């Protein structure tokens, strides 16, 4: 709380800004961070499904489909499939957006990187609600 006395020009001000604006307006967005944001949503979906009554029937269906009784292997397969669903779906939507825009200046990877950060509050909010 010594900002005002430490500032030589006394030009401190208080401004309102939207929540998480620094995430969306950052100049440097890496693909690794974008993937981590989508991965967060996938993990939250897996954990939410695991806490509901729909997980056991899915698990039993997969056991009968592949003919394995290993609990660890069945969980790993289900985890991987449910985790890859949001990643694949989002990538597909970004690809369709690129086609819809019809401009060659947009790449699907760049669109994924730009918009993936929207999943951070969605994943966090879903995690809090479950």
Please give the DSSP secondary-structure letter assigned to residue 27.
S
Average pLDDT of the residues of the chain? 79
C-alpha span between 41 and 78 (Å, rounded): 15
User: Which residues, including other chains, have CB under 8 Å from residue 3's CB and lie 6 or more apart?
Assistant: 12
Closest to 120 in 3D by CA, of 38, 35, 32:
38
Assigned token pair, 53: 């009554």
pLDDT in tens, 8-59: 666 667 777 776 666 556 556 778 888 888 888 888 888 888 888 888 888 8
Q: What is the reported pLDDT for 92?
A: 93
Is the alpha carbon torsion for 36, 116, 90, 56 positive or negative? positive
* Lowest mean pLDDT, pick from 20-24, 72-76, 91-95: 20-24
């Amino acid at each position: 709380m010594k900002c005002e006395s430490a500032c030589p020009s006394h030009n401190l001000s208080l401004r309102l800004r939207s929540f998480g604006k620094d995430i969306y307006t950052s100049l440097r967005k890496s693909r690794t961070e974008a993937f981590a944001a989508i991965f967060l949503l996938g993990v939250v979906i897996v954990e939410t499904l695991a806490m509901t009554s729909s997980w056991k029937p899915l698990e039993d269906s997969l056991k009968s489909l592949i003919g394995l009784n290993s609990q660890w292997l069945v969980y790993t397969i289900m985890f991987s499939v449910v985790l890859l669903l949001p990643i694949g779906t989002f990538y597909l939507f970004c690809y369709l957006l690129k086609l819809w825009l019809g401009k060659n200046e947009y790449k699907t990877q760049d669109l994924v990187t730009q918009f993936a950060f929207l999943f951070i509050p969605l994943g966090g909010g879903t995690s809090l609600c479950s």
